[in-house]
Amino acid sequence: MKKDIKDIIKRSKDKSEKKVKGQDQDKKAKKENKIKNKSDDKPENPKKSKKTIIIIVPLLLVAAAAAVFLFLFGPDYLMTGKAEKSAMKSVEGMFDSFKTLDFGKAEEYIDMTGVDVPKDYTPFTNLQMIRNVLFDRLNGQIVSSERIDENTVTVKTNVTAVRIKPVMAEFAVKVLDFTIRDLRSENPLSDKEKEKKINELLEACASKPDLETVTNEVDIVVKYVNDAWMVVSDDSLINALYGGIIDVAGDLFSADPEPVPELDSESKPGSGSSGSH
């Protein structure tokens, strides 16, 4: 009998404990749900939103810049190999150096001794003088590039320079005028003084601000020499750099040369004017 009573009390006690435990679990679950609901209702952190915008905007700008680049230069640039890019960089460096008259810097891209024109092409000219007064107006616009072999790339370039033919025509007339005056002078100049005067005449003819320009498309040859891509100075490049100076040589002996400016009336042979320098 006592045993039965103990069992009943024990079962009742266990039942009460389970009920209390269940109530505690229910309270805990309700509390967690309440916290979760509050978290869901909480507004988005504005700082976090601002950070996201700061990250996205630069990415959009980069994508837009890439799209513009491809539109302007086309996908061919992306296909250009390392050799072609290096060769184009040498051509660009050469023209940048010429435009600033930094011929020492130009030596990094082209052998300047090869930039001189043979005397047969320039009977009246001082090439250094021409470079000093004309090369700052040079412009080279790269069109394309092509790998020829392991050590050679051609860079197709539109070269714009002062058209040399009218300059040389005017210079030739002025030299003739000066020579006649000097011959008729009672006190002719020394050879050194003549050379200085001729250089001054050349500079005056070549430094006018409104000189005509000409554009030639040239396949500039660039070779890999001594661990560097160097521009090769051939006739086509020289002719373009000097605005057609090699063509002038052919015109000097042509049957139909370009008209040249008139001599001053007082300087024409047989005018009877003695003129002084």
d(CA 94, CA 136): 12
pLDDT of residue 259: 55
Please give the full DSSP string across 21-62, using - where no structure is assigned.
HHHHHHHHHHHHHHHHHHHHHSPPPHHHHHHHHHHHHHHHHH
Q: DSSP H helical segments within 190-268, as ranges?
A: 191-206, 235-241, 245-252
pLDDT of residue 91: 97
pLDDT of residue 224: 93
Classify burial at 118, counting beta carbons within 10 Å of its beta carbon; exposed 0-12, middle 13-18, buried 19 or more.
exposed
Reported pTM:
0.59
pLDDT of residue 78: 46
Query: In the chain, count of helices (H) and strands (E)?
Result: 10, 4
pLDDT by position in tens, the chain (length 277): 555 555 555 565 555 555 555 555 666 666 666 555 555 555 555 555 555 666 676 667 767 776 665 555 444 444 458 999 999 999 999 999 999 999 889 989 997 766 765 555 444 456 677 788 889 899 999 999 999 999 999 999 999 999 999 988 898 899 999 999 999 998 999 989 998 898 888 888 888 888 999 999 999 999 998 899 999 989 899 999 989 888 876 665 554 545 545 544 444 444 444 344 3
For the chain, what is the radius of gyration of the CA atoms?
Answer: 42
